[in-house]
Chain A
Amino acid sequence: MSGGDQTAAQAVPDPGVASRPRTGSVLTRLKHRLPLPRGLGQGMVSGIPLGWLLVFFLLPFGVVLKISLADTAIAMPPYTALLDWDGEAVATLQLNFGKYLFLLEDTLYLSAYAGSLKVAAVSTLFCLLIGYPMALFIARQPAERRPLWLALVILPFWTSLLLRVYAWIGLLQHNGVINNILINLGIIDQPLVMMQTDFAVYLGVVYTYLPFMVLPLYATLEKLDETLLEAAADLGSAPWKAFLTVTLPLSRPGMVAGSMLVFIPAVGEFVIPALMGGPDTLMIGRVLWDEFFNNRDWPMASAVAVVMMVVLVIPVMLLRNGQNKTAEHG
């Protein structure tokens, strides 16, 4: 911990000597109490959150890994122990890769992973297409009006995700607002089937995650040097060409950051496919949920989670860290 000492702190005279003979109320004595050794104080500042996250964030993944290698058992908790004590001091380690083999054999899981990837990728693309004009529009507003437009983007983000999904159900369902309006206008005779379809899932994901795309995009576009565009215009470049050759490439960090913020949570999304998707909308978050809550197969749910982590989450997070590093050095 001594490496963390700041040079400035060396100028501090040893306060322990000065404060010890002081008498007075408990309060003043508390105020002038012996300071902790500097290394220890700093160690506690970084150590407390670090310890918390090690126990409640990292350790749980170890437990998931462990249980994914156990077998299902009719017991509470419903899985077998990896270590068996057969009476005496001999312990046997039983690793069971059966759940992982089953993941590969049953096409349900593979198509659920593929389905999640497809939904997340397509939704990210649509978020980008809808969110980019919004971010650019806000960035081009006069400075004093930008907070208002930003607040309009952030407001839905502060309201419950569940309720925003719910709002769409009222619009899309069989006797919902959209169908009522279209039938009353005489455009259609039969209500359109929109709920419980893949379309509804895409719509829900795009709608829910749109603010996550707009905010990082805006952050990049706001910092964009306007003079570059003026230079392009002065040199005879058409506005759309200046956009394609100047604005778009320069906003890449925002596009990448926004896409990550949409893509990763969308892959594991549960609420939207559960409420808006049909029975054949396969997404891995929903499969995990069903394995856990409906089938009570904790080892299977754990194996699904481990594969989702290894295949999707970790690569994307590493990619993101790499992006951040190049952005810092570049």
Chain B
Amino acid sequence: MRRRSTSLKVLALTGFAFLYLPILTMVVLSFNESRLVTVWSGFSPKWYGELLHDDQILGAAMISLKIAFISASLAVVLGTLAGFALSRFPKFRGKVALTGMVSAPLVMPEVITGLALLLLFVAMESLLGWPKGRGVVTLIISHVTFCMAYVAVVVQSRLADMDGVIEEAALDLGARPWRVFVDITLPMIAPALVSGWLLSFTVSFDDLVISAFVSGPGYSTLPMVIFSKVRLGVSPEVNALATMMIVVVGIGVVLFTWNAARLHRMRQREERAAAAGL
């Protein structure tokens, strides 16, 4: 297999270059002194300074961070309940409906989800008087709805990988279902909860289309501000902002991968030690 892999390697590395070339260009251009973004005139970090004094961007970033934090946390709770019910309850009323609905937001075109949620909020406001207007509440409800799908999928696959033997043993020994869940299930699915939260946070922080539909005047999230800036043309500040976001995400992914690899090696060592002990 190894011999013929040269052509495969070339094709694959071309694919990776395709993925990274635009990102790398953007990072380099963020240090360009010229306002004409794509004409190089010298190295300068000045756009980062300007970025830190741009109140519009900073304000929008704060709104986005707040909404992403709350949405991701609520989505982890709801998504874990959904994932747990789907993989651990043999049957319950509405299982088919939950199975279908929990993954549907992942593939639903965003323009449809956004429009549908906005029309719902408008109808609810005129019928029930809640939610009043559109802003933080409507943004959070919408983000939770599509983020919980990610959490449910991650939790469900994690639970499917573990058999329920330990949980059953605890139940047999008289532990109540709630205690079994808190003491056994939760610690075992903790990694899935962490990745579900991170995924939800990122997806919520990045969302443009659904947010544009459901937010009201005065509540512009960061992607909405970037979108309106980009529509007017490329701007060196956006390059700087993008670079900062890529660096943060990059560090996160590297740490996560490194940690996963470390745990993997640790488990392998333990397994070898256990095998040697036998």
Contact = CB atoms under 8 A, between A and B. Distances in A.
A96 B36 CA distance: 52
A264 B109 contact: yes
Contacts of B119: 60, 63-64, 67, 298, 302
A162 B90 contact: no
Contacts of A200: none
Interface stretch (A9-17, A20-28, A86-94, A98-106): A9-17
A56 B261 contact: no
A105 to B, nearest CB: 22
Interface stretch (B49-57, B231-239, B270-278): B231-239
Given A9-B177, A41-B177, A229-B1, A155 B250 contact: yes
A194 B152 CA distance: 41
Interface in B227-272: 227, 230-231, 234, 238-239, 241-242, 245-246, 249-250, 252-254, 256-257, 260-261, 264-265
A159 interface: yes
Given A42-B89, A151-B253, A158-B202, A48 B78 contact: yes
Given A9-B177, A50-B98, A167 B82 contact: no
B15 A170 contact: no
Contacts of A269: 109
Contact of B90 (A4, A137, A316): A4
B91 A3 contact: yes
A192 interface: no
A38 B239 CA distance: 55
Interface residues of A, number: 105
Contact of A46 (B18, B92, B226, B260): B92
Interface string A277-307: 0000000010011001100001001100100
A4 B109 contact: no
Contacts of A77: 122, 126
Contacts of A1: 92-93
A268 B110 contact: yes
B120 interface: yes
Q: Is the interface of A mostly helix, strand, loop or mixed?
A: helix
B145 A56 contact: yes
Given A49-B81, A53-B101, A53-B102, A210 B148 contact: no
Nearest to B145: A56
Given A49-B148, A57-B145, A137-B12, A42 B209 contact: no
Given A140-B8, A147-B260, A167-B242, A210 B107 contact: no
Interface in B83-116: 84-85, 89-95, 97-98, 100-102, 104-105, 107-113, 115-116
A20 to B, nearest CB: 15
Contacts of A250: none
Contacts of A153: 19
A42 B180 CA distance: 13
Nearest to A305: B112
A45 B86 CA distance: 10
Contact of B15 (A133, A144, A176, A180): A133
A207 interface: yes
A41, A64, A131, most chain B CB atoms within 10 A: A64
Contacts of A267: 109
B182 to A, nearest CB: 11
A6 B115 contact: no
A251 interface: no
A166 B120 contact: no
8 contacts: A50-B101, A64-B116, A159-B246, A163-B226, A167-B25, A207-B22, A271-B209, A317-B100
Interface of B: 1, 4-5, 8-9, 11-13, 15-16, 18-23, 25-26, 29, 36-39, 78-79, 81-82, 84-85, 89-95, 97-98, 100-102, 104-105, 107-113, 115-117, 119-120, 122-123, 126, 141-142, 144-145, 148, 152, 168, 171-172, 174-178, 202, 205-206, 208-209, 212-213, 223, 226-227, 230-231, 234, 238-239, 241-242, 245-246, 249-250, 252-254, 256-257, 260-261, 264-265
Which 9 residue pairs spanning A and B have beta carbons closest together?
A: A268-B109, A137-B12, A60-B116, A133-B11, A46-B85, A49-B82, A167-B22, A60-B120, A8-B171
